[in-house]
Structure 1
Amino acid sequence: MLNEILGTINDFMYTYLLLFLLIGTGLYFTIRTKFVQVRMIREAIHILKEKGKEEDGKKQVSSFQALMISTASRVGTGNIAGIATAIAAGGAGAVFWMWLMAVIGGASAFIESTLAQVYKVKDGADYRGGPAYYMEQGLGKRWLGIVFSILMIICFAYGFNGLQSFNMSSALEYYIPNYSESIYPVIVGILLALATAFVIFGGVHRIGFITSVMVPIMAGIYLLIGLFTICMNLSALPKVIGMILSQAFDVQAILGGMAGSAVVIGIKRGLFSNEAGMGSAPNAAAAASVSHPAKQGMVQVLSVFIDTLLICSATAMMLLLSGIEGVPGVLDGIPFVQKAISANVGSWGIHFITISIFAFAFSSLVGNYYYTEANLLFIKNNKKALFLFRCTCLLAVFLGAQADFSVVWNFADITMGCMASVNIVAILILGRKALLVLKDYEKQKREGKDPVFKAEKLGIKNTQCWK
């Protein structure tokens, strides 16, 4: 009964609300920024080379590290299990709509991350910020920031992290008969909680180090396997691309059975994967030490593209080139990926997917926790509260390893949708200020300068770090 209620809410939210909010907002900012997510890509790559500054004798989080923290959260089991679920339920056409969401969503990602930089605050020697902070300082509505923070904590600390833990645990079903009925999920839950505790009790710099090392390595290896799969099945690639496009624009895919269509499933899984406009990545973007907010806004666009156009596409090609068909509720999620990769490269591919699931999911656990800590500190900056919160996060990881698949997905989708709705309204209201920041950046670049931001010069008030 609980799952049916969650499923009904989930379908309504994505069919009639977020579908229009996300696409509409992405298109609006794409036009207003003159396709910043495409035309400033080279500039974003150049910015990545900048090193974090040293302040008060402590090295700050660099633009690259902030990118890796957000990419660690984005690049999780949604890139593997989520894509498999989308293709099994919505067909190959869902992949196209995920691609489109990434390109359109890149503009929203730029706006929200730029705003996070503008309204970030100093926390000792570090910076923190995000939607809750720009809702308080930019909109003057602390209560809305608290609402967002609560949704963020529920979604990421308990929903998404429980989901990541579940996907890691379920990856072992291939190896252990009657796995879900054994003691092993409990053991896996304990080990994951201990590993997570080691990182999150080490602070933001340990999180930054772990993600800046783990994410590039695991993403690089995963992309190489995807490329190898494509090369091995090169003759079938045109047929697969044709299938993605034809099924994406099929009348039934667009109009029929809306909640279960390729359009809605592709957008839903695309949002879960790339998080553009949802309000999560700005929490990492705010931590970076840069000379101008627009720099980190551009860099965060790269994270969206890395996630969907590269990692998700690699998974999609592995699945669609395998000849294995997914069946909702029967062969989807991790088992679908394992069977497909086995058909592509042999049984060793199953072990590779298992390792990938653990690496991707663990990096997401770490990135997700970082987001939620910044939001807890927004509500109340208290060491005892922070310690108790960390303990509840570890409990969610432990319990997630033993959860029910459909309930966890629905819960994560609903809380994500609520978060996204609140954040989209905020960035639509504050978007004009982000556009001023972009204009200022481009003006200084044309003058041959390394842009430096001064909030008062643009008439932007209530900023703590740009005076």
Structure 2
Amino acid sequence: MEVLADWVSRISNVVWNGLLLYLLVGTGIVFTIRTRFIQVRKFGAGWKHLFGHFSLNGEKAGKDGMSPFQALTTAIAAQVGTGNIAGAATALYSGGPGAIFWMWLSAFFGMSTIYGEAVLAQKYKTTDDKGHVTGGPIYYIRARFTGKFGKFLAGFFSVAIIFALGFTGNMVQANSISVAFNTAFGAPMIVVGIICAIIAAFIFLGGVGRIASVTEKVVPIMALFYMAGCIVILCINHAAIIPAFKSIFVAAFDPQAILGGAAGITVRQAMRYGVARGLFSNEAGMGSTPHAHALAKVKRPQDQGEIAIVSVFIDTFIVLTLTAMVILTSGMLNPGAPDGLQGTELAQAAFKASLGSAGMAFVAICMLFFAFSTIIGWYFFGEQNVKALFGHKAVKVYAAIVVICIVIGSALHVDLVWNLSDLFNGLMVFPNLIALLALSGLVAKAAHDKDIMK
């Protein structure tokens, strides 16, 4: 088992730290140029659309889809997860403060990519065998590529996302919750997992209506709660804010000027870990969030594309950046040190440094909300692909398997599962990027406010 886990880890590292990073960033640059910097031109319009549909108790989602705000919160539920806490800490430990700059840069280009994903998801959405509106990369892949190649590419994407998010991904998220509660409160991990599984099953069985109703309430509340906690800490550590920002920009191009030679962190490492963690967190180009954006009831595909831009901004430039600033101003970061704290432990130590034992509890509660909302979002994305491949009859079987995965994942930290999750996350990106690039002309047309529904 250890040998297999090691091989999967090596393959996953090659996928994520090699070709995939260049493809994701490259796709973002292509879309930024072809859309004439849509993320800048339509940034204000995205916020206007968002607040125009804002509601914590909006209309009930159903067969004909959901509101644009519900689609956004469902997407953000998946985007804002443990990566915003543990991922930011990992990037800082492995890449130093400069990793945050590269995280921002990759997110900037990712905003144009996610615009394209949302627009295409709206353009090619359809109805399933029960008459429910559905959509996602499988449909725009099929639309662009016909014949056996198109079927293979679409099928490969769907199978990869079901395993990456629905099964192994949700095991990882459940484990993050149980570990955080065990560390902070001494709660038995399996008990935490069973409670999460029961609540998740209740939400899953309510269909898209219950999922949308939960995310539109939970996501804004959890984001504001976390942001408030971070701002309190930054107020306590206010004297360290300007030096922290300075370290981000200096270390992005000259890590040794900030860290010294002992850490051994290079510009390449800062870039690699910043870009990788940023893209993994905001999911731009990965093909996951289009499943939510496809269901939004909007007048034009461009409207939801502009709202999608906001989701990356919230995930990376607000939530993830706040985590990074808390860690940098806490004095707990020791980049590259063999005995240095990293991941969730580093984040918990940073919050504890300012809030005492309450900081540990705060991180545990936030991990619960972040990871659980991701479980809901990832389940939903997988469900859309299960219906596309096997029809409605397979949804209950899929839901049951996900619930079992939540329980098992909460009690076990199996390296193989974590590595498989990373690998499948990477593999599902390739079919999506191939289709995105092939349809970039259509996205460019939409970005120039032309009708693409004819």
Structure-2-length-normalised TM-score = 0.90
Change (3 A) 1:258 1:5: farther
Change (3 A) 1:189 1:293: same
Summarize the alignment of residues 247-258 of structure 1 with structure 2, pairs less than 5 Å apart: 247-250=251-254
Change (3 A) 1:48 1:104: same
Query: What residue is the counterpart of 2:361 in the other structure?
Result: 351
The one-letter code sitting in structure 2 at the alignment partner of 1:76 is: G
| Contact 2:79/2:315 (8 A) holds in 1 | yes
Distance 2:247 2:61 in 1: 56
Cα deviation code 1:20-45 (max 9, x no counterpart): 11111111111111110122011112
| Contact 2:157/2:432 (8 A) holds in 1 | yes
Distance 2:251 2:11 in 1: 26
Distance 2:343 2:255 in 1: 26
> Displacement of 1:176 after TM fit?
5.7
Query: What residue is the counterpart of 2:91 in the other structure?
Result: 86
Query: What residue is the counterpart of 1:162 in the other structure?
Result: 171
Is 1:108–2:113 an aligned residue pair?
A: yes
1:393 is matched with which residue: 402, 423, 432? 402
Summarize the alignment of residues 178-257 of structure 1 with structure 2, pairs less than 5 Å apart: 184-250=188-254
| Contact 1:50/1:63 (8 A) holds in 2 | no
Cα deviation code 1:111-150 (max 9, x no counterpart): 1111010000024564211110101123222331111000
Distance 1:412 1:338 in 2: 24
Summarize the alignment of residues 4-403 of structure 1 with structure 2, pairs less than 5 Å apart: 4-51=6-53, 60-123=65-128, 124=130, 126-140=132-146, 141-175=150-184, 184-250=188-254, 261-325=269-333, 331-383=341-393, 385-403=394-412
Is 1:414–2:414 an aligned residue pair?
A: no
Change (3 A) 1:56 1:48: closer
The one-letter code sitting in structure 2 at the alignment partner of 1:387 is: K
RMSD: 2.5
Change (3 A) 1:294 1:196: same
Cα deviation code 1:323-381 (max 9, x no counterpart): 11255686222222111101122221221111111011111100111100011111121
Distance 2:174 2:287 in 1: 22
Change (3 A) 1:407 1:244: farther
The aligned length equals 437
Is 1:429–2:438 an aligned residue pair?
A: yes
Q: What SS class does the counterpart of residue 89 from structure 1 fall into?
A: helix
Residues 196-205 or 416-425, more deviating: 416-425
The one-letter code sitting in structure 2 at the alignment partner of 1:426 is: A
Residues 341-350 or 280-289, more deviating: 341-350
Change (3 A) 1:403 1:87: farther
| Contact 2:60/2:213 (8 A) holds in 1 | no
Change (3 A) 1:56 1:100: closer
Q: What SS class does the counterpart of residue 288 from structure 2 fall into?
A: coil
Change (3 A) 1:309 1:154: same
Cα deviation code 1:177-224 (max 9, x no counterpart): 6x7xxxx22222211111110101100011001000000011011112
The one-letter code sitting in structure 1 at the alignment partner of 2:226 is: Y
Distance 2:415 2:92 in 1: 16
Distance 2:135 2:275 in 1: 27
Q: What SS class does the counterpart of residue 212 from structure 1 fall into?
A: helix
Q: What SS class does the counterpart of residue 345 from structure 2 fall into?
A: helix
Query: What residue is the counterpart of 1:455 in the other structure?
Result: 453
| Contact 2:62/2:209 (8 A) holds in 1 | no
Cα deviation code 1:45-76 (max 9, x no counterpart): 22224559999997740111100000000011
Cα deviation code 1:413-452 (max 9, x no counterpart): 22111111221111000111122222235xxxxxxxxxxx
Change (3 A) 1:428 1:258: farther
Q: What SS class does the counterpart of residue 330 from structure 2 fall into?
A: coil
Q: Percent identity?
A: 38
Structure-1-length-normalised TM-score = 0.88
Uncovered stretches (5+) of structure 1, i.e. residues with no partner: 442-452, 457-467
| Contact 1:259/1:265 (8 A) holds in 2 | no
Uncovered stretches (5+) of structure 2, i.e. residues with no partner: none
| Contact 2:154/2:431 (8 A) holds in 1 | no
Distance 1:57 1:360 in 2: 25
| Contact 2:123/2:452 (8 A) holds in 1 | no
Q: What SS class does the counterpart of residue 341 from structure 2 fall into?
A: coil
> Displacement of 1:90 after TM fit?
2.1
| Contact 1:318/1:344 (8 A) holds in 2 | no
The one-letter code sitting in structure 1 at the alignment partner of 2:192 is: V
Distance 1:28 1:241 in 2: 29
Change (3 A) 1:345 1:257: closer
| Contact 1:158/1:393 (8 A) holds in 2 | yes
